[in-house]
Amino acid sequence: MDVLSDAVAAMRTGVPHSSRTQLRTPWGIRFEPQQGAGFHVILQGSCWLVPSRGKPLTLGVGDVVFLPRELGHAIADAPTTPLPDEATRRLVEADVRDANAGHEGATTVMLCGAYRLDQSRAHPLLTELPDVVHLPARIGQQPALRGAIDLLGHELAAEPLPGASGVLPALLDVLLLYILRAWYDEQPEQATTGWGAALRDPAVAAALRAIHGEPAQSWTVQTLAALAGLSRSAFAQRFTSTVGCPPLTYLTWWRMTTAARMLRDTDLLLRSVAEHTGYTSEYAFAKAFKREFGTAPGQYRNGSRPLSELSTHSG
């Protein structure tokens, strides 16, 4: 199993969206905090990103910026440009292609998008990311990421093309994975802790793939160590130092995360959810789930669904 893909899938709660934005100076747009993540890719010109905390960042052609926790930010042609209030911002976003069309200033073209992610159950692989992930354009670097950007830009450059409703979400999902892959690829090779180190370490990565691939398996530290090709103590120490928690603690966390996703997205019986996540009885599963989430599985399922869906199922 692919740990990176699983980490994203565990947090996804809706369909991502994106747009191609063209603005002429002077311009500025403010983005409010939201439950998700956002990105900007500069196709033409330049701009400044002003995060909610930290210093303004200048962006040039080909630069990618990803905000894994949308704490609120602004983008503008210059850090001193006044930003519109919320009402004005909505008017700008309503038809951003034509915004400031009468100005003679320099043009900036961007791809902007957002992902709906459940930050309340964020995978540690994403929580360790900085508030702003900046991937500067470098010739010959990250060709897969550049290819995904080119495809997405083509889809958003004109009127909707046949199949766009299926192509765009898929391209956005691919783009997110390439952004994360690029970030972790560019981390220092000598790093011995964190998820970048965990994904590069063959022993730890083997254990993670096993846990993600078969969460229902009765894993022990010893069986995971055998897969990793290490002694029990050496494996436990290496896993804990890189991932940030002991192997069985992560196993339980991932089982509960998987269970929560099943309760939210499927109609599987609680017994089936328990079996899929390594519990021999519904009672044992419910007890573990309530200890983790503070609520019973059935209540969690009902609380995570829209009222319209609840009425349909109750009927």
Domains of the chain are 3-185 (2.60.120.280), 195-307 (1.10.10.60)
Give the lowest-confidence range in 5-14, 41-50, 252-261: 5-14
DSSP state of 32: -
What's this model's pTM, rounded to 2 decimal places? Answer: 0.83
Number of residues that this document lists for the chain: 315
Q: Between these two residues, 74 and 100, which has the higher pLDDT value?
A: 74
Confidence of residue 94 (pLDDT cuts 50, 70, 90): very low
Give the lowest-confidence range in 90-99, 158-167, 197-206: 90-99
Exposed/middle/buried for 148, CB within 10 Å: 0-12, 13-18, 19+? Answer: buried
Average pLDDT over all residues of the chain = 86
Most confident listed range (28-37, 143-152, 217-226):
217-226
Which pLDDT score, from 0 to 100, does residue 311 have? Answer: 37
Contact 106, 78 (CB under 8 A): no
Which pLDDT score, from 0 to 100, does residue 87 have? Answer: 43
Which pLDDT score, from 0 to 100, does residue 315 have? Answer: 33
Contact 125, 11 (CB under 8 A): no
Average pLDDT for 170-183: 94
Give the lowest-confidence range in 128-137, 149-158, 182-191, 220-229: 182-191
Angle CA(39)–CA(195)–CA(111) in degrees, nearest 5?
A: 10
Contact 54, 132 (CB under 8 A): yes
Quick: pLDDT tens for 302-315: 886 543 333 334 33
* Residue 200 tokens, joined: 């590069």
Residues facing residue 39 across a β-bridge: 66, 113
